[in-house]
A and B are shown apart, each in its own frame.
Chain A
Amino acid sequence: MCLSDRGLFSGYTAGPFYDEMFHSPGCARSHYARLFEKLGVMAPTQFEDRRKHADLSFLLQGITFTVYSDGRGTERLFPFDLIPRILPQSEWARIEAGLSQRVVALNLFLQDVYGKQLIIKDRKIPASLVYSCRHFRREMIGLEVPRGIYTHVCGIDLVRDSATGEFLVLEDNVRTPSGISYVLENRLVMTRTFPEAFQEHEVLPVNHYPAELSRILRTLSPRTEPDSQIVLLTPGIHNSAYFEHSFLAQQMGIELVEGRDLIVDGVVVYMKTIYGLKRVDVIYRRVDDDFLDPLCFRSDSMLGVPGLMGAYRAGNVALANTPGNGVADDKAIYAHVPTMIRYYLDQDPTLRTVDTYLCDRTDHLSHVLSNLPNLVVKSVGESGGYGMLMGPSAARAEIEAFREKILAEPRNYIAQPIVPLSVVPSYDSAAQCMAGRHVDLRPYCLYDGQKVTIVPGGLTRVALEPGSLVVNSSQGGGSKDTWILRGEC
C-alpha cells in the first residue's frame, strides 16, 4: 500500500531502523495498509482532536503512575501514543509459542533450584551463580508450592532487532510484573477514540485477562469451599503501580488489601472486615518478597503481614507469584535460559536472546571493560530501567563511574551489545508531526501448571524522546495499543 500524498506522514522517515509500519517511504506493510489509508487522509487538526480526547480520558480515569526520581512522588500520566503497534497473527503465533516454551522452562527451573537442583548437579548452571543471586530465597528450599506453580504471571520483554527483523527476548519479569492494566485501558480508550478503525480490522481481544487470572488464582486455594477468599495485596496508594492493583482487583471482583488489613492467627491468614475476621485463601501479592513478612524477610517492613510465610509454609494460604522467583529473572541467569529450555524440555529455544557478557567471568569482564562505550550495562537484580548504563549516549564520567562499580562488584553486572530497536511512527506533539520512535513489547503470560495463556499482543512501550532506546515509564517512556490482526494479511 503506497500513497503519494502521505498527509500526516509527509516528511516521515524511520532512518536506519526497522520500521514496523512502512517497508519503504510512503509504502505501508500489508498489515498496516488499511490503517495508513485511513490516517493518510486525516487532517492534522482532526488527529489532534482525537489525541486530546484520549489524553483527557486517561486523566479523568486517573490512570497515572508515580515517579520517585523527583523526590516528591508525583502522579503522572503514562503518555499514550495513538498510532497502534500492529503484528499479523502469523508472526504472533511464533512469539506465543516461544514465550510459552520459555515460561514452562522458567517454572521447571524454579521447581528445580528450590528442589533437587538437578541442573546444578548436572553442571549446566554453576551453583555459585544461583546462590549469589540477590533474590534467591533459602527459605523456599524444599517447600512444596501449590500445584507446583511458581510463575503464575510473567511479563517477558521482547525487542525487534533492526539488523535482522527478528524478535529477541530482552529480559524476563517473573516476580511482580506490572503493566497489564495499561494494555486493557489503552484498548478501551483506543476503541473510543478510533471506533471506525476497529470496524475495518479484526483485532484480537485482550479483555479476558482478568477472568483468566482469577480462574488460575482460584485453583490455588487450599480449601475446596466454593467461596474461597482471593485477595490482591498492594503496598498501598503510594506505590507506582497502585492504579493497576485497584484496577485488577475491581476487574476480578476480589478485595484489594494492604498489609494492615490482614492478620495471621494460628498460622491462618484473616482479613479485618466490618463483621469481624474472615479467612483468606489465596493472595495475589504485588508486594516484593523483601516486604512480605517482617518475621521472615526484612524485619523493618511495614507493608507486609507478620507470620504470612508461616501460614504459607503450613499450606493454609497460597501466594502468587511464588516468593523466590527473582532467581529466575536475574539478568545473569537470563544468559542461561536457552540452556534451561534444552535441559528441561529437550527443545531448541524458539526465541533467541541477546548476547550477554557476565562480568564475573574474567574473559567476559575484560571484553566489557574495553568496550564500555558500545555496550549497555545492567545491574542484575534491578528492573524498571534503574541502575543501567547506555554506553553510546553516556558521558565519559558516567562510563568511568560504572567501570568502578563493575570492578567493585562484578557479579552484580552484565553487559550486552546495543540492540537497534525497531521503530513505529509516533506523534511528536512538540514538532506536530509523525516521527519514528523505538518500541519494545511486553506480553503477559499466565500459567496454570498445564498451559500458558497469553493475551494477544501485550504492552508496546515507546521511547518518546527522539533517539532514545529506553522505554520504561519511569524514564519518560509511553505506550501504544498493540493489535494482533486475525488471519493472513
Chain B
Amino acid sequence: MSEHLPALVFLTPLATAICMPLAGHGRSAVCRPVALVAVCCMAALSLASLWSVSVHGEIRYSFSGWLPPIGIEWLADSLAATMVTAVSVLGVLCLLFADGLGDRPLGDRAVPYYTIVLLLVAGLAGAIYAGDLFNIFVFLEVVSLSAYALVAVPGGRALVSAFRYLLMGALGTAFYLLGVGYFYAATGTLNIADLSQRLPGLLDSRAVMGGLIFMFIGLAIKMALMPLHGWLPDAYSDAPASTVPLLAGLVTKISLLVWARILYWVMQPGSDGETLTIFTLVSTFGILASVAGACLALGQRDLKRMFAYGGISHVGLVLIGVGQANETGLAGAMYYLLNDAVMQCSLFVLAGFLALRYGASTLDELGRAHVRNPWAIVTFVAVGLGMVGLPPTGGFFGKLRILLGALEADNTVAAGAVVVTTLITLGYFAQVFEKLVRAGSESPSDHQTETPWPLRATMAALVAAIVGLGIWNDQVVALLVDATASLGI
C-alpha cells in the first residue's frame, strides 16, 4: 500500500477536481467543503508518505508497472515528500483562510473556482514528484494555467495583470520545453536518473549547455527571478485576497524546486569534482535578485506589493544557496524554500485580512487603521521575525545555513549579499511594524466583530509552522540532507 502513496496523493485532488462540476451542479455551497475535505485527505496521505519515506527510504513509483527509462517514473525522496506535505498543509490553510475571510461571494463561479484550486494543488504535487523533465513541464503548465485563471477571478484590473502573467508564463514554458528538447537531442533520454548517468561525458556539448540555459530562462520567468519578475507584483496585488496566499506561497516555489532538481539531480555537480560555470551564474543572479528585490520592497507604499518584492528577494536568497554547489548550501536553500513558502503564505494572509477587515492596503492606511487584533499582530511579529531572520524562527536557521554554504564555497560576495538583504528586510519590516503598533486615534473598529475561527486557526497554524520549523530545524534539515546524500556533493 505505502508504495502507491505518491500516486494517491496526486489523484485525490485531481479526482475531486474532475468530480467537482457533478457535485457542485446547482448547489455551489458544497464546493468549498468538498475542496477542503479533498485537500485534507491529500494532506493526510502526504503525511503518511513522508512517514513512510523517512522510515523505509525513498519510493520510486513506476506508472502501470513500466520500468524507467521507458516508463514514467515518480520519485518520492525525502525532499519531495517534505515539499508535498508543505504544499498540501498550506493548501488546507489557504482554503480555511478563504472560508474565514468572507471575500466577495463567488456565486455560480464557485464550481470552476474550486475545480481550478484543486487542479493547482494536484499540479504542484505532480511537479514535485515527477521523475522526468517532460512530466515536470506538463505539471508546471497545469500549475501555471490554474494560476493565470485564479489571478483573473476578480475581473477588471486583474484581467490585464493575468494576461501579462500568462504572456510571460507561456514564454517561460516555451523556453523550458525548448531546453528539454535540447537535452533530449543530446542524450536521448528525459528520465532524471538516466540523464545523470549519460551527461558526465557530454558536459562540453553546446546542446547540453544551451538546453540548461534555456531551462534556466524558462524557470527564471516562472520563479520571478529579478530581471524577469515584472508580472509578479501586479498579479499578486490584483488577485483575490483569498487566493494570493496559495499563489505566493506555492507557485513560484515550485519552479525553484524544479531548478534545484535539474542542477543537482540531473547535472550531478559532485561527480567530476569541478564546479560548473552555471552555478556561478545562478549564484550571481541570486545575489542581484536578493539585494535589488529587498531595495524595491523598501520603496513600496502598498502592502501587497511590498510583500511581493520581499518574495522576489527571497527567491534570490534561495538561489544563492542553490548556486554554491555544496551540501550545506543546497540543504539550507531547500530548508529556506520551505520556510519561505510558509512565510509568503502568512504575509498574504495578513495582507488580505488587513485589507478586508480594516481597509488597510497601504502603509499610510495601516497607520490610521488602529489594528488591535491580537491574532493579526502575533502573526505579523512571527512572520516579521522570520522574514528578517531572527531566532527562533525558521528564517534565521535557513539564512544561517545559506550563509555557511556561501562561506564554505569561499564566496564572500554571496555571504555579504545575504547579510545586506537581511538588513534591508529589517528596514521595510520596521516600517510596517511602526505603522501597525502606532496608536491610531480614529474609529476603534475592532471591537464589534470577532475573528472567525477559521481565520484564527489559519493564523495560529502559520505561526506554529514558522516557529516550529525553527525549533526543529535540525530534524527538518536532516530529512532534506537525506535526499541529497546520493548526490556525492
Query: Do A and B truly interact?
Result: no
Q: Which residues of B contact A (CB under 8 A)?
A: none
Q: Which residues of A contact B (CB under 8 A)?
A: none
